[in-house]
């Protein structure tokens, strides 16, 4: 059976970086017997241009049928004047919610070759490889009731509700253990159980799910301590699982430990493990069309898709190893360039990774 992959180039640098992902997938198919079929569709501003909608119905239909979806990026100044519901970013929010992508995986990987890109000392971050799993469809960002109201004494107050049901906690916890099984088998659940009832339930459910995963070492940490530990000694972590808002904040902090936005992939998964894969960066209108965008975040997103949705761990290892080899060779796009390295463009970088694929 062939894996069906839907490619959504989107806007700005999206088409340029996604072209390198397509090159990579074709190489895996032709040289390493990966069974894939690729299809392409429009999203974001490109969706608006083609069909008047940031998420055309035809694109959503194809996404539902696909085993994995790869997205470039959406948005750009050309679309800034559009009404809110036609904006490119709406297409991204809509596909995430339509596909019920509740598990957001954000790795923070610092290749040892790029250790000088980080603001932290190389011995603290060099070789960093941690995964933050953020719950994406619950918590305070969606909880009811919410609003701004005026009290009887005339004072206004704003309020949101941080709420999680047991099934919501259980499915994200399960994803956390499954991911830990595919990595270093250590899971740290981050909460605020010393203050929040919702965190007490979270802990109880995570402990219960843990019984199904005796091979994973589970720990718990309060979110304030986790923020501190991420900066003090980030290599202590393998997989972190946490609720939506804590994960929003911690994953951005963790991404910046590596200092290179062009290097970081992400995934958003549904309950069946199907998912949407994308670089964490945006459409970079300032460098679009110049052939200088770093395609590695997108190629590493392909690796994540192979590992987490397609069950092709060996192919994922192959891609990640090839990226490592290209960095060893000293090839760098401008965003990660440093003295003594060779400056290359988007296409050369993509071709170098394909050339470095090995058994």
34/284 with CB nearer ligand NAI = 284
Residue among 102, 18, 99 nearest 55 (CA): 99
266/333 with CB nearer Mg ion = 266
- Establish whether 328 is a catalytic residue: no
Q: Residue 340 forms beta bridges with which residues?
A: none
89/170 with CB nearer ligand NAI = 89
Strands (E), the chain: 3-10, 36-40, 68-73, 103-109, 129-135, 147-150, 156-159, 186-191, 217-222, 239-242, 265-269, 275-279, 331-332, 342-343
Binding site for ligand NAI (CB under 6 A): 13, 73-76, 89, 92, 261-262, 278, 281-287, 293-294, 297, 335
Closest contact distance (angstroms) between CB of 118 and ligand NAI is 16
Q: How far is CA 348 from the centre of its chain?
A: 24
Closest contact distance (angstroms) between CB of 74 and ligand NAI is 4
∠ CA 9-11-12 to the nearest 5 degrees?
A: 115
44/176 with CB nearer ligand NAI = 44
54 binds, among Mg ion, ligand NAI, none (CB under 5 to 8 A by kind): none
Torsion of CA 183, 184, 186, 190, to 10 degrees: -50
Catalytic residue among 111, 164, 191, 192: 192
249/341 with CB nearer Mg ion = 249
Annotated binding-site members for Mg(2+) = 224, 248, 252
Closest contact distance (angstroms) between CB of 72 and ligand NAI is 7
Catalytic residue among 252, 317, 328, 343: 252
Annotated binding-site members for NAD(+) = 76-89, 282-294
- Establish whether 248 is a catalytic residue: yes
285 binds, among ligand NAI, Mg ion, none (CB under 5 to 8 A by kind): ligand NAI
Annotated binding-site members for substrate = 96, 106, 134, 224
- Say if residue 273 is exposed, middle or buried (CB neighbours under 10 Å; 0-12, 13-18, 19+): middle
Rg (CA), the chain: 21
Closest contact distance (angstroms) between CB of 278 and ligand NAI is 6
Helices 296-308, 346-355: axis angle to 10 degrees equals 40
- Most distant CA atoms of the chain, gap in Å: 72
Closest contact distance (angstroms) between CB of 277 and Mg ion is 17
Give dist(CA 226, CA 322) in Å, integer: 32
Catalytic residue among 11, 67, 248, 270: 248
Annotated binding-site members = 76-89, 96, 106, 134, 224, 248, 252, 282-294
Give dist(CA 302, CA 45) in Å, integer: 23
φ/ψ (deg, to 5) at 88: -50, -40
Catalytic residue among 212, 224, 317, 328: 224
Catalytic residue among 4, 29, 129, 141: 141
262 binds, among ligand NAI, Mg ion, none (CB under 5 to 8 A by kind): ligand NAI
Closest contact distance (angstroms) between CB of 77 and Mg ion is 21
- Establish whether 252 is a catalytic residue: yes
Taking the CA of residue 10 as centre, how many other CA atoms within 13 Å lie in the half-sphere pointing to its CB?
A: 31
Binding site for Mg ion (CB under 5 A): 248, 252
Beta strand 239-242 with 129-135 is parallel
248/270 with CB nearer Mg ion = 248
Active-site annotation, residues: 141, 192, 224, 248, 252
């Amino acid at each position: 059976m062939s894996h069906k992959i839907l490619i959504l180039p989107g806007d700005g640098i999206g088409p340029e970086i996604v072209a390198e992902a397509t090159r990579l997938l074709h190489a895996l198919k032709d040289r390493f017997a990966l069974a894939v079929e690729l299809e392409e569709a429009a999203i974001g501003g490109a969706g608006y241009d083609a069909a008047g909608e940031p998420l055309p119905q035809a694109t959503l239909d194809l996404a539902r049928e696909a085993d994995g979806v790869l997205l470039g990026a959406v948005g750009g100044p050309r679309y800034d004047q559009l009404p809110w519901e036609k904006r490119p970013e709406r297409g991204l929010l809509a596909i995430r919610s339509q596909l019920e992508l509740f598990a957001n995986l954000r790795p923070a990987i610092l290749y040892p070759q790029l250790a000088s890109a980080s603001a932290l000392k190389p011995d603290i971050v060099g070789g960093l490889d941690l995964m933050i799993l953020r719950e994406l469809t619950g918590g305070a960002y969606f909880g009811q009731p919410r609003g701004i109201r005026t009290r009887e004494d005339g004072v206004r107050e704003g309020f949101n509700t941080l709420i999680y049901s047991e099934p919501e906690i259980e499915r994200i916890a399960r994803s956390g253990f499954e991911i830990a099984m595919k990595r270093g088998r250590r899971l740290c659940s981050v909460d605020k159980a010393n203050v929040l009832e919702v965190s007490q339930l979270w802990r109880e459910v995570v402990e219960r799910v843990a019984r199904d995963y005796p091979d994973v070492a589970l720990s718990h940490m309060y979110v304030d301590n986790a923020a501190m530990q991420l900066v003090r000694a980030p290599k202590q972590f393998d997989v972190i699982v946490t609720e939506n808002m804590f994960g929003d904040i911690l994953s951005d902090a963790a991404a910046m430990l590596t200092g290179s936005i062009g290097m970081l992939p992400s995934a958003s998964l549904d309950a069946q493990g199907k998912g949407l894969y994308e670089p964490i960066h945006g459409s970079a209108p300032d460098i679009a069309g110049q052939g200088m965008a770093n395609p590695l975040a997108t190629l590493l997103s392909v690796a994540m898709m192979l590992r987490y949705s397609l069950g092709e761990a060996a192919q994922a290892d192959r891609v990640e190893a090839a990226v490592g080899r290209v960095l060893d060779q000293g090839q760098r796009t401008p965003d990660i360039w440093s003295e003594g390295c060779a400056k290359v463009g988007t296409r050369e970088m993509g071709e170098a990774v394909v050339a470095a694929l090995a058994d």
